[in-house]
Every structure is written in C-alpha cells, then in structure tokens.
Amino acid sequence: MPLVISVAQRKGGVGKTTLAVLLAAELDRRTGVVGLVDADSQASACHWAEPGNLSFPVYQLDPETRPVAEWAKLMRQIPHQIIVVDSAPNDRVLGAVLAVANIVLMPCTPSGLDIEATARTLDIVREVRATRRTALRAMIVPNRVDQRTLEGQQLIEELDTLDEEIGPMIGSRSAYVRAVALGQSVADFAGGTPADLEIKMLADLVMSWCGIAPRQRVTI
C-alpha cells in the first residue's frame, strides 16, 4: 500500500496546492517514488505541472465526479509508493482524502477565518480517526506567515489551543509565487534560500514521522 499524505483544509486560499506540490517535489528528490493526485476540480496542481518541469507525475482524480469508494480504489492503483494529495475545500472531497490518508497536513494562514476553518477541519479529522483501525496523523502547517506582523507573531500561540501537532512555519515569500509561474519546485531555481529550507524542514518532519530514509522502499 502507498503512503498517502493529504494536504487538506475546509477553506480555500490557504496555500494547499503550493504546499502539496513543493512537498511532493522535495520528497521525490529524496526518494524518487512520489506521485501527486490533484483532487480539486480547479486542477491547480495539474496546471502547475503543464510545463513539464516537475520530476514527478500529477494525476487528476476528482472525488466529486465518481463514488468515493470508486475514487479510493483508483487511488490504490496509482503506481507510486508515496502519494501526495491536493484536496479541494469542501466536505465531500475532505472526507474522501482523509479516508485514504496516513498523514494529513492542514495549512493555516495568520487569519482568524483560517484558524476557525482549521478547527472545523480538525473536528472532521477526529471523527474520521474514531472510525478507523489505522492511525491518521495530523499536522497544522503555519503558512504564508509574515513574522513582522502581530498576526504572524501570535499565530503559533493561537494554533497551540487546537491541541494538534504544529509543523514548521512557512513564510510569505515571493519564491513560492515564482515557483507556480515557472512550473517548478523552489529547489529548482532557489536552492538554499529560506523558501527552499522551509520546505526541506517540512519534508524532514514528514519523513521522520514515517520512518523513511532517502531512496528507501516505503512499506505501510
């Protein structure tokens, strides 16, 4: 069975696609066994991949266009040992991507609305956990954070109240915007920069959670 990492949130505009694509790129750079599933009808990850510059394939597989059980079966047929899923911000897709996930990453910006949406997403995560035999680990990822602002400085304190693991902080950086425009990963054109190092820190944590070593076969 593949290891499935779902990037999910009930709210749009929090940076799910950016986080999913850049994490997939970094994990593939280290392991060479990654595929990304675009589960959003907007197909933003597919558009990112169109120039052909990414090292891993992107599959468009929308849970809204077929029964969830059929979608989950198709997910299991994707020939990669690590699958990163870019989710859409609605409950049907969220339920589907959580059902197949080993890990869920929830990006959250320094916005009261996003913090509230993260709390609601966690409610669904905990409901799914209660019905599963296998573990579902969850991580809140502070995203698009400008630490020069009061909101950015207070975000971690706010997220601590949600009682879930908090990942490394991802800054509000032009390199992430440029990566989309170029159809590349940050490491491709800005290796060693703060943006690249932030994504590497996130990948480090995900790999440590799963016990994955570089170029190691993944077993779940």
Which CATH number is 105's domain given? 3.40.50.300
Domain membership flag for residue 217: no
To the nearest whole percent, how much of the chain has pLDDT over 70?
96
| Host domain of residue 56 | 3-208
The tens digit of pLDDT for each residue in 108-118 reads 999 999 999 99
Which pLDDT does position 220 carry in this prediction?
45
Number of structural domains found in the chain? 1
Tokens of 90: 């609605």
Q: pLDDT at residue 80 above 90?
A: yes
Instruction: Average the pLDDT over 191-220 and give the result.
Output: 83
Domain membership flag for residue 25: yes
**Radius of gyration over alpha carbons of the chain, in Å?**
16
Strands (E), 81-133: 82-86, 103-108
Average pLDDT of the chain? 93
Domain membership flag for residue 214: no
Domain membership flag for residue 215: no
Which pLDDT does position 219 carry in this prediction?
47
Which pLDDT does position 212 carry in this prediction?
75
Q: Tell me how far the alpha carbon of residue 51 is from its chain's centroid.
A: 21
Which pLDDT does position 180 carry in this prediction?
94
Which pLDDT does position 1 carry in this prediction?
78
Domain membership flag for residue 220: no
Which pLDDT does position 63 carry in this prediction?
93
* Confidence grade of residue 147 (pLDDT, cut at 50, 70, 90): confident
Domain membership flag for residue 78: yes
Burial class (CB in 10 A: 0-12, 13-18, 19+), 176: buried
Query: Nearest Cα to 3, choosing from 124, 136, 125, 127?
Result: 136
User: CA–CA separation, 109 vs 117, rounded Å?
Assistant: 10
Q: pLDDT at residue 216 above 60?
A: no
Which pLDDT does position 32 carry in this prediction?
94
Domain membership flag for residue 47: yes
Q: pTM to 2 decimals?
A: 0.93
